[in-house]
Amino acid sequence: MKIAIGNDHAATELKFVIKDYVESLGHEVINFGTDDNESCDYPAFGKAVGEAVVAKEADCGILICGTGVGISIAANKVKGVRAAVCSDVATAHLVKEHNNANIIAFGARIVGQELAKDIVKAYLEAEFEGGRHQRRIDMIHDIEE
């Protein structure tokens, strides 16, 4: 898969850990930055990854900031994005199975590196279940209209 990754300054170190991990699983990463520790504004990175996913330049996205919250709120303003903050493995697979989340987010100040890898793996390996869940997703996107 092609996976778009974006982060702010709070998450640069974890972003590179996750980038290497995702590549080790055989995926291609499109890195939207930031790549240093200079203070920056997370909405720009949430927007960039959201737009790449909706444009199908990437199959899905991973967003990381201090908490995962700000950057996911920003991404969710892009029409067609379903970005979900995950701090545990169960949520990570359920957001794909039930919500067909096209972006997962987590916080570098909230989860450690090993848990972050497990979250990413659970999300990438999960499959959307469709059925009643698709109806609910359609209702969510009706709100955007």
- Which residues are near ligand RB5 by CB under 6 A? 8, 10, 42, 65-67, 69-70
Q: Which residues contact 92 (CB under 8 A, 6 or more apart)?
A: 86, 104, 118, 119, 120, 122, 123, 126
Shortest reach from residue 70's CB to ligand RB5, in Å? 3
What value, to the nearest 5°, has the Cα angle with vertex 134 and ends 130 and 139? 170
Bridge partners, 139 (sequence order): none
Q: Is 98 a catalytic residue?
A: yes
- Min dist CB 72 to ligand RB5, Å, is 8
With contact defined as beta carbons under 8 Å apart, do 104 and 86 qualify? Answer: yes
Residue number with CB closer to ligand RB5 (34 or 102) = 34
Least separation, in Å, of the C-beta of 8 and ligand RB5? 5
The residue from 9, 27, 98, 133 that is catalytic is 98
Catalytic residue among 60, 65, 86, 93: 65
Catalytic (active site) residue 65: yes
Query: CA torsion sign, 72 to 106 to 101 to 27?
Result: positive
Catalytic residues: 65, 98
